[in-house]
Each structure stands twice: as structure tokens, then as C-alpha cells.
Amino acid sequence: MAVAELASTESAGAIPLPSGEKEVLKVNVFERGMSLNTQLAPVFPYAGPGDLVPCACLLRGRPGQEYGQFWHENSQEEVAYAFGANLAMMPTGSLVVSPKIHGVNSFLAEPHNPEAYLFLVIVQRQTDVDANPEEQYEAFHLRCSECQELLLRHTYSADPTVAEDRYPAFATVHGAVAATNLFNEDEKLRTCGACGHLNVPFPVATWGWQDYIDQTRAVNAAHALALATAAGKLAPGEAAE
């Protein structure tokens, strides 16, 4: 693959050549979309300092199931491109730069129609390794369905730090699971202090986030076991503690 260094004629800035530390990869996002088990799944194995992280998101009409509504706060701007849409609020080929606080739902005009879908790639830039923690954070907001009073603002770090797992979960998805668990398990939190309405639990299963976290844990456990077995620390067939 030929790589050229490009500089704008109107700016002294330049796009640097790849450092060589990471392999240049490409992916067919439509094929990748066939195996998604969550909304917002990174399509490349890179989510470290300074990386641009494209994430696939396939929203489908689901008879009898709800997506709900939440608000996402991100210290970094996100860019969303619609690769395909039917009965959706974003037409195919549309490009959106999200404000740093934006509402999120199914974006489907008919969310219960199985013919409705929206296939997005959402890109987030990770800050550099020496950035201050406040430069990369996210927050998950949930509001009262009756009066829109803020019920929960769960803030978490999205710094591209090195995790213990060989294959760490994407911080945005991990934070969404933590926030919805807090909300769903606490009836007092779901009771609006302004209007008294008891809000239903957030339909987290529709988004697939917990499945993604559970899969990540299982994959990392399997990887660790494979290495231990190969190193002779476990006899073949012996169960890990």
C-alpha cells in the first residue's frame, strides 16, 4: 500500500506518515456489520492514544422491543456517517458531526418495523497519551420520560490507557453498562424528584452492551488460559481456578 504525506497549501500542518508501530488495516464495514453483538463496536483493534476509532452501529426495527432514549456527553466530537438507511431519520450517505452533548435513540422513523434499519459508522478520536484526564471523559445522561428532568449523569474516564486485558472493552460501552446498571437497580433513582413519575428500567438488552462486555470477559479469559496451557502451566484439559 502506497502512503503519501500530504500538507495543505493553506496551512503549515501535515498528515504524518504511519509510525510503523501498528499495521495498516482495512475492513469491509458491511461484512463487519453481520457479526455485531452490540451498538458501537470498534471495527479495528486500535483504541489507544491518538487513535481515530471507527465504531459500527446497526440499529434495526424490533417488533415489541424498545430502544429508549439517553443523552451522551463526550469531551471529543464524534462524526457519524450513514452507510445505509431505510425508514430512518438519517438518509444513506449523510454525515453528521455531533455536538458534545447529544440525544441518542434508534433514529428510526418506525422503530418497531422489521424493515427499518440504520447502519452507521461513528468515529471518535482518542486524546494523546500525555493529555490531562479531563480532556477525555464521557457521561451518560438519563432523563424523566414525563418531564425530562435529569435523573442520572454518570461520568467516566475514556482516557486511552492500557488495560490489563489483552483485548480491553471499548470504554464508551463499558461506561454505558455501568450507568444503566445503576439506573435499573435503583427505584429511587428512577423516581423523578420533579414530577414523581417512576420511570421504567432502561432497555439495555436492546443495545447489546452487556453481551459485548460478557463476550469481552470470556475472550480474555480464554486467551489467558490458552497462553497458560501453551506455557505448560496447566495440563491439557485442566480447568483454571
Q: Which of 51, 98, 95 is nearest to 71 (CA)?
A: 98
pLDDT one-digit tens code per residue, 150-209: 999 999 877 655 567 788 888 889 899 999 999 999 999 999 999 999 999 999 999 999
Contact 172, 144 (CB under 8 A): no
Q: Which of 157, 172, 158, 138 is nearest to 42 (CA)?
A: 172
Instruction: For cell 463499558, name the residue.
Output: 174
Using only C-alpha atoms, what is the Rg of the chain?
A: 20
Structure confidence at residue 167 (pLDDT): 83
H-helix segments, 167-234: 171-184, 187-190, 204-207, 209-230
How far apart, in Å, are the Cα atoms of 22 and each of 32, 52, 143, 161, 190?
A: 20, 13, 41, 17, 44
Adjacent-strand bridge partners of 95: 81
Q: List, for the chain, all residue ranges whose pLDDT scores fall below the cut of 50.
A: 1-8
Structure confidence at residue 184 (pLDDT): 97
State the pTM of this model: 0.83
How far apart, in whole angstroms, are the C-alpha atoms of residue 185 and residue 122?
29
How far apart, in whole angstroms, are the C-alpha atoms of residue 175 and residue 29?
24
Structure confidence at residue 5 (pLDDT): 46
Structure confidence at residue 14 (pLDDT): 64
Domains of the chain: 24-229 (2.60.120.10)
Structure confidence at residue 233 (pLDDT): 67
Structure confidence at residue 240 (pLDDT): 52
- Around 115, how many Cα atoms within 13 Å sit in the side-chain half-sphere? 1
